[in-house]
Amino acid sequence: MLLRAYHLGLLLAFASAAAACAPSSESDEAPGPGALPDGPVTAELDSGTVEGWRGGGVQEFLGIPYAAAPVGALRWRAPEPPAGWTGVRNATVKGSACPQTVPLLGDVGDEDCLYLNVHTPEPRPATPAPVMVWIHGGGFTLGEGVQTDGGTKGERLALASGHVVVSFNYRLGALGFLAERHLSAEDATLPGSGNYGLEDQVAALDWVQRNIAAFGGDPTAVTIFGQSAGSMSVCTLLTMPSAQGLFARAILESGSCTTPASSLAAAEAQGDVFAQALGCDTAADVPACLRSASVDAVRTTLPPDPAFISADTGTHGSWMPIVDGRVVPAQAAAALAAGDFATVPTIVGWTRDEGTLFVALAYDMQGAPLTAAEYPQVLDALAGDAALAQAIAVAYPLADYATPGAALAAVLGDAYFACPSRTLRAALAAHAPLFAYEFDYPHPKFQLESPVDLGAFHAAEVQFVFGHPAALFVKDFEGAELELSRDLEGYWGRFAATADPNGAGAASWPAYDTAGDAHLSIDVASVASSGASAEACAFWASVDYLRPPLPEPP
C-alpha cells in the first residue's frame, strides 16, 4: 500500500505543539457597538452556569465539558452526558488535550479531555447567528480544538464573521479507535467497537444543538469544517446516521473519506494484538483488564508510526475510523455513490503543494534530503507492490522535478489529497451545491524553519481562516497576507451564513459542476480556474492504490 493513511495530517498537530512557547494571539480589535467593558460573562447551559471572559469584541468560553470524562468504566465506551454542577463553573481555561505523544515534547494530555470552546461576538447576536464548528486534524492521534499556539482559537473568526465559533477535543489513538472483539460483544445494544472518537464528535454536535442558543447561535445553521483528519471526519459525518440533522453545511479542507476504511474484523485482529501486548488476552474479563491499564501503557502499546513516510514495520498501530457496521455502517465511498448521506451544501478543496511538508519533515529537516538513489526504494517501500512502484516512477520521473524530494512530494500530494478530494467533490456535487478550491498562495509561513521551499503546504490555509499567523512570535498578518486572511474569513463566513461564499466584493467563486470542473484558485489575487490536478488524477484513477490501512485477517 502506498502510504498508511493514519500517517497523514500528523505534522500540523506536531508543529503546533512544538510551538508551545509561542504567545497566544489575542485580538486587538475595539469592542463592537453596545459592548460592555472587559470582564467576566456567564452563559446558562443545560448542565449548569459557566463563566467566561469578554474582551476585544468577543466573548470566550473555554473548557466546557460536553461529555463525561471517558475514564475507568467509561473508557472505550460511547460518550455519556456530562454531570451537571451547581454554582458557576470557570470557563476561562481550555480543557486538557486528549492523551497523545507529540514529537519533541513527548507524552501530553489527560484522559479527562472531552471539552469544547466557544467564541461569540460581544454583545451576543440579538438574532440567532450561524455557528461554525471546527474539527481539528492530526491523523486521529494528535491535536486539540484550540492548538497549543492558539492557531485555531476562534475569536478572530467570530469577530470577522459575526458567527459563533466552536472547537472541541475528541479521543485519539487507541483510546479513540481501538476495536477489540470482547469490547465489541459486551453490549448487545451497541455492537461493535472502535469509533469512539467519532462518537465524541457526534456528542459535541449534539451539545451544540442543545446549548448554542445560550451564546447567540442558531442550531439550525451549523457548519462543520475541518482540515486533514478533521476534514476526513467531516466527510465521514456526512455518511453517519447518528450525525444526520446536526449540521446544515460542511467545509472540507485537504481530506476525504473516499479511501477505503478498515473493516471491523481487520481492526479487531489488531485489537487482539493490542490486548496480548497489555497481557489482557487471557484475562477472565478482557474489557476490565484493558480498562485497568494505565494511560501510559495504552499510549505506548502499538503506537502510531512517528515516521510519517515509511513502510509499516508491524510494531505500530493504525488508529482511525473503521467500518464497524453501526457508527459507520458502510464504506463512505459506497454511501456517497448511492446518495445515502447528508446532502448539504459543501466546500471541498486542497492546497497546491500538499506533499511538501511531509517530505520536508521526514528528510530535509532531518539534514538528509531524499536522494535519487533512494527515490525508487521509497516508492517500493510505500507502494508495497513492485509493479505499482514502477508505474508511479514512470508517472513521476525524477527528470521532471528539481529534486527527488519534490518528486515524492508530488506523489503524496496527488495520491492522498488532491485526487481523493476530486473524487469526493464529484460525488457530493451530484446531490447538493458545492464550491471547490485550490489554495495556491506560495509564501505561507510554517511554525518551524524549513531548508526547502514548502510552497502552499498541507494546512497552510488554516492560519488565514482563523486569522492567526503560523510563524512563531508573529502576532498579526500584514499587507497582502492580511487581505488574504480577510478573504478566507469572508468566504468561509458567508458560506456558513448563506451556503454561498460569494459577496462583499471578493473575487467571484464559481459553483462546481463535473462538466466545467471549476474551482477558485485562492491566492492574494484569487481567480476562478478549472481542472486542478486533473491530469495527475487520471493516472491515479488507473491504478489500484487505495486500500484499507489494516489487512483482512486470514
pLDDT at position 94 is 96
Q: In this predicted structure, which of 303-312, 482-491, 494-503 has the lowest mean pLDDT?
A: 303-312
Between CA 123 and CA 524 the distance in angstroms is 32
Whether pLDDT at 313 is above 60 = no
Whether pLDDT at 366 is above 60 = yes
Strand segments, DSSP code E, in 468-533 are 518-522, 527-530
Residue among 16, 228, 256, 526 flagged as catalytic: 228
Whether pLDDT at 5 is above 80 = no
* More confidently predicted of 130 and 312: 130
pLDDT at position 14 is 45
pLDDT at position 26 is 40
Which DSSP helix (H) or strand (E) runs through 351? strand 346-351
- The number of domains in the chain is 1
Q: What is the mean pLDDT of residues 490-509?
A: 98
Record the cell numbers describing residue 54, joined without a space: 469578554
Longest dimension (CA), the chain: 68
H helix intervals, 33-86: none
Q: Is residue 266 part of a domain?
A: yes
C-beta separation of 421 from 254 below 8 A: yes
Q: How far is CA 76 from CA 34, 180, 214, 524, in A?
A: 47, 10, 31, 46
Instruction: Say what percent of the chain tops pLDDT 70.
Output: 92
What is the pLDDT of the chain when averaged over all its residues?
92
pLDDT at position 550 is 93
Q: Is residue 108 part of a domain?
A: yes
Whether pLDDT at 22 is above 80 = no
Find cell 489527560 and name the residue.
110
Whether pLDDT at 311 is above 80 = no
Model confidence over 266-275: pLDDT tens digits?
Answer: 999 999 999 9
Whether pLDDT at 10 is above 60 = no
Whether pLDDT at 359 is above 60 = yes
Between CA 97 and CA 168 the distance in angstroms is 9
Q: What residue numbers bound the domain in which 277 lies?
A: 5-365+410-507+517-541
- 166-193 as b/e, with b when 16 or more CB fall inside 10 Å? bbbbbbbbbbbbbbbbbbbebeeeeebb
User: How sure is the predictor about 472, in pLDDT bands with cuts at 50, 70 and 90?
Assistant: confident
pLDDT at position 89 is 98
Whether pLDDT at 310 is above 70 = no
Between CA 275 and CA 119 the distance in angstroms is 41
Question: Which has the closest alpha carbon to 489: 161, 196, 185?
Answer: 161
pLDDT at position 531 is 96
Asked about 458 being catalytic, the answer comes back as: yes
Whether pLDDT at 155 is above 60 = yes
Q: Is residue 286 part of a domain?
A: yes
Q: Is residue 388 part of a domain?
A: no
Q: How far is CA 284 from CA 117, 182, 280, 291, 397, in A?
A: 41, 11, 9, 13, 56
Q: Is residue 437 part of a domain?
A: yes
pLDDT at position 381 is 86
pLDDT at position 394 is 98
User: How sure is the predictor about 308, in pLDDT bands with cuts at 50, 70 and 90?
Assistant: low
Q: Is residue 548 part of a domain?
A: no
Whether pLDDT at 9 is above 70 = no
User: How sure is the predictor about 15, in pLDDT bands with cuts at 50, 70 and 90?
Assistant: very low
User: How sure is the predictor about 149, in pLDDT bands with cuts at 50, 70 and 90?
Assistant: confident
Asked about 155 being catalytic, the answer comes back as: no
User: How sure is the predictor about 7, in pLDDT bands with cuts at 50, 70 and 90?
Assistant: very low
Residue among 155, 199, 253, 354 flagged as catalytic: 354
pLDDT at position 382 is 86
CB atoms within 10 A of CB 472: 16
Model confidence over 108-148: pLDDT tens digits?
Answer: 999 999 999 999 999 999 999 999 999 999 999 999 999 98
Between CA 374 and CA 361 the distance in angstroms is 16
pTM over 0.85: yes
Question: Which has the closest alpha carbon to 287: 186, 196, 194, 197?
Answer: 186
pLDDT at position 206 is 98
Tell me the β-bridge partners of 349.
253, 437
Q: What is the mean pLDDT of residues 469-483?
A: 95
Q: How far is CA 206 from CA 133, 194, 200, 505, in A?
A: 12, 20, 10, 35
Query: DSSP character for 193?
Result: -
Residue among 163, 182, 458, 519 flagged as catalytic: 458
Q: Is residue 374 part of a domain?
A: no
How open is the CA angle 514-537-404, to the nearest 5 degrees?
A: 150
Tell me the β-bridge partners of 236.
none
Give Rg (Cα) of the chain: 22
Record the cell numbers describing residue 346, joined without a space: 459543501
Between CA 226 and CA 233 the distance in angstroms is 8
Domain holding 502: CATH number? 3.40.50.1820
Q: What is the mean pLDDT of residues 169-198?
A: 97
Q: Is residue 123 part of a domain?
A: yes
Which DSSP helix (H) or strand (E) runs through 101? strand 100-102
Instruction: Say what percent of the chain tops pLDDT 90.
Output: 87
Between CA 151 and CA 154 the distance in angstroms is 9
pLDDT at position 2 is 47
Asked about 489 being catalytic, the answer comes back as: no
User: How sure is the predictor about 102, in pLDDT bands with cuts at 50, 70 and 90?
Assistant: confident
pLDDT at position 28 is 41
User: How sure is the predictor about 314, in pLDDT bands with cuts at 50, 70 and 90?
Assistant: low
User: How sure is the predictor about 497, in pLDDT bands with cuts at 50, 70 and 90?
Assistant: very high
User: How sure is the predictor about 332, in pLDDT bands with cuts at 50, 70 and 90?
Assistant: very high
β-pairing, 518-522 vs 527-530, is antiparallel
Whether pLDDT at 290 is above 90 = yes
Whether pLDDT at 18 is above 60 = no
